[in-house]
Chain A
Amino acid sequence: MAQLLGRIKEFLGRIPLLAYLLGFLAATGVEIVAGQAFGLLIGLGGVPAFFGVTAALSRLNMDGGLGGLLLSIPSMLLYIVPALVYDVVIYGLPTLLVGRVLAKPVRWFTSTLPEWLTGLVHMVTLFLSMWVWGGLVGYRLLVVMYIGVNIIMASSLNLINGYMGEFSCGHAGFMAVGAYVSSLLTVWLFTQDDVFGAPVLGAGWSIILFPLILIVGGIAAGIAGLLVAFPSFKTRGDYLAIVTISVNFIIKSAIENIEKIGGPRGFMGMKGVLRTMTSVINVPWLLIWTFIGVLITLVVIHNFVSSTKGKGVVAIREDEIAAELMSVNTRHTKVLAFTISSFFAGVAGGLFAHVLGYINPSTFTIFKSTEALVMVYLGGMGSLTGSVLSAGIFTVAMEALRPLEVWKKVLVWLMLILLMMYRREGIMGGKELTDFISLERLGLRRPAKEVKGYAPAAD
């Protein structure tokens, strides 16, 4: 048994990441061609939206008391079996098969490219597979974009809670600032709106200005971040946590009291912005910008915290007084960390608002902040790959468990309690994924050149 597992592990380990991605892309192709027919054939009634998890859970009878629930379990199991078959046949086999076949060519291909280009190829492949996979069932695309937004939220909060060791629980406040600022701008500039009237700029501008407006939203949020940064000079720990909660409430209440932008009723019209954008060029703009947003967030935070300047943030976590006495300008560093963190929360807010098409102040309460916190602690403090993983897992769990209705929340929070009891350091435990699987193994970096007495090909 152990031998078999070892074999499987070795087999899977030999396939580089890009080959897996291409395999998944092929699998989505298979699904487009044969998914519907195969789903009908094995009794799933078509393409399952979410690997069959949601559909299986929705077989559970949540309204009939305990008896009804227990009686509905067989019908769930009856669904799970064909769903598993579907997942294996449609996703599993093609991914592994194509991955295995392409393993060698992919290794050769990536070895001819410079590393940054290899990274780009991975990203484009991942993007394409998400696009194709999501394009088949609209709901999937929505979930993918939620994952993206949540990755940005979790990793930006990780900068404060994980790397700097402060406990910020008002991240949704900054998200709200970004969401409102960018939504107001796009709706004002590009759509016919009750409040703002006719669009100010031509539709073509929307394509160019959309990312800039996201950045403007981020900058506004970054400035709001100073509301926490300055108090952080004087207070820390629990007291700063209270400050962050207050800032969250202040922002929410402020928005609630501005009638012009809808007050507590909220603000809408962002779907119109998207229509304007797709009317010019019909591509999934939001998916593209979410993807790029996630990439930029991860690169910026990673590069920042691995520079000596950025490591000042970690020194503050480890011993703030020693940091200040050992020449780290702690105030400057805190302002930087809070600004960067809330900037990205603002960008996430802008994306979120346009994905949802509608925002209202009560979306951005401390509950939303708590979700971001959960993702940070689930993934592990001070681990970016942990935040990426946990944002994926958390978002998917929240969506897939929807049929469980109220019990969903119980289950998810129960998971969190268990996590805190048995693995407080989170999934990654302060390490990065690359500490376990090397970049060389994944095929993202070329293996170190072997020295064999002759010089490798000249550059």
Chain B
Amino acid sequence: MPLLQINHLTHFFGGLRAVYDFNLNLEKGELIGLIGPNGAGKTTIFNLVTGAYRPSQGDIRLNGDSLVGLRPHQITAKGIGRTFQTIRLWNNLSVLDNIRIAQFAQIRYGVVDSILHTRRYRDEEKEIKKRSLELLEVFELRHLADEIVANLPYGQQREVEIVRALATKPRLLLLDEPAAGMNPGEIDTLLKLIQWIREEFDLTIWIIEHQMRVIMGICERIKVIDFGETIAEGTPAEIQSNPRVLKAYLGEEGI
């Protein structure tokens, strides 16, 4: 059974058809890309998968369980983590707090435990803190644990956002334009990082990217959409020579 299965996903914003008949079977361990020109509906698909929007039609299944109608935090708890196109960290909180809060779904203690500081509360909090610091350690961010996120440079904020997504214990990681605003040097580091976390955390990764060089570099399979419709699918080499893709990106010949 595929890890993620999307069938005939269609979504309208009022009269605007943002996504039309999108299908995908994502096998465990794959690293695939979703590309398309601006406004093609890429982020909308991520928002549909993570439950931020409820699809107009179609079905999304994770390990065979339908995700349609679930609230975003429930979907995240089922194992889909994501980052955002524009960084959406909790800016005035420390790095550590950002990572801690992302483990909200793993909390088993109740409010009363938190108020009375019961043993259960202390054990769980200790565990959450330990895990957060370990994660930060892995990314060599531990020394920044108490730093307020807003004070970090852009590149580190991107990293913290990835760590935060990993803190939710995902099986599938959705990266929404992770290389946005990065220079070529930073992009190379990022690509290595993505491949490394895939191995390290045994993840399936789905990347939205605008820049061809990112996606061509690491994706095994690519889907291209334009105006909400899938126009091509295949390996990076196939995509690069696909006339419909070229048309979508570069426009009609002879203009």
Contact = CB atoms under 8 A, between A and B. Distances in A.
12 contacts: A304-B111, A308-B128, A311-B93, A314-B90, A319-B88, A322-B88, A323-B101, A326-B76, A328-B104, A329-B73, A329-B104, A336-B111
By Cβ-Cβ distance, the 6 closest A-B pairs, closest first, are: A318-B90, A307-B114, A327-B105, A322-B88, A327-B76, A328-B104
Given A324-B73, A325-B50, A311 B97 contact: yes
B104 A312 contact: yes
B92 to A, nearest CB: 6
A325 B93 contact: no
Contacts of A325: 50-52, 72-73, 76, 82
A322 B77 contact: no
B117 interface: yes
B59 interface: no
Nearest to B164: A326
Interface in A312-349: 312, 314-315, 318-319, 321-331, 336, 340
Interface in B207-239: none
Contacts of A327: 73, 76-77, 102-105, 168
B131 to A, nearest CB: 11
Nearest to B88: A322
Interface in B48-98: 50-52, 71-73, 76-77, 82, 84, 88-93, 97
Contacts of A326: 73, 76, 101-102, 104, 164-165, 168
Contacts of A300: 115
B71 A322 contact: no
B182 interface: no
Say what secondary structure dominates the interface of chain A: helix
A299 B112 CA distance: 12
A257 interface: no
Contact of B115 (A304, A312, A319): A304
A279 interface: no
Interface string A371-407: 0000000000000000000000000000000000000
A315 B111 CA distance: 17
Contacts of A321: 52, 88
Given A309-B114, A312-B101, A430-B92, 6 more contacts: A309-B104, A325-B51, A326-B101, A329-B105, A330-B73, A340-B111
Contacts of A303: 114-117
A325 B47 CA distance: 9
Contacts of B121: 307
Interface of B: 50-52, 71-73, 76-77, 82, 84, 88-93, 97, 100-105, 107, 109, 111, 114-117, 121, 125, 128, 164-165, 168
A29 interface: no
A380 B91 CA distance: 18
A318 B164 CA distance: 15
Nearest to B117: A303
Contact of A318 (B72, B93, B104, B105): B93
Given A327-B73, A327-B77, A329-B104, A304 B114 contact: yes
Given A300-B115, A309-B111, A327-B102, A322 B73 contact: no
A308 B104 contact: yes
Contacts of A263: none
B133 to A, nearest CB: 14
Nearest to A330: B73
A309 B73 contact: no
Contacts of A324: 52, 71-73
A326 B88 CA distance: 10
A430 B121 CA distance: 26
Contacts of A308: 100-101, 103-104, 107, 125, 128
Contacts of A82: none
Nearest to B109: A309
Residue from the set A309, A319, A330 with the largest chain B CB neighbour count within 10 Å: A309
Contacts of B73: 324-330
Contacts of B164: 326
Nearest to B149: A318
A311 B115 contact: no
A331 B73 CA distance: 10
A307 B72 contact: no
Nearest to B51: A325
A296 B3 CA distance: 48
B13 to A, nearest CB: 16
B125 A315 contact: no
A307 B3 CA distance: 34
Contacts of B77: 327
A324 B104 CA distance: 10
A325 B82 CA distance: 8
A319 to B, nearest CB: 5
B57 to A, nearest CB: 22
B52 to A, nearest CB: 6
A374 B89 CA distance: 30
Nearest to A306: B114
A372 B114 CA distance: 26
A307 B125 contact: yes
A314 B84 CA distance: 19
Contacts of A307: 114, 121, 125
A311 B52 contact: no
Interface in A388-429: none
B52 A315 contact: no
A299 B114 CA distance: 11
Contacts of B52: 321, 324-325
Nearest to A312: B104
B84 to A, nearest CB: 7
B71 A315 contact: no
A304 B84 CA distance: 29
A24 B103 CA distance: 47
Contacts of B91: 318-319
A310 interface: yes
Contacts of A336: 111
A153 B107 CA distance: 29
A5 B144 CA distance: 36
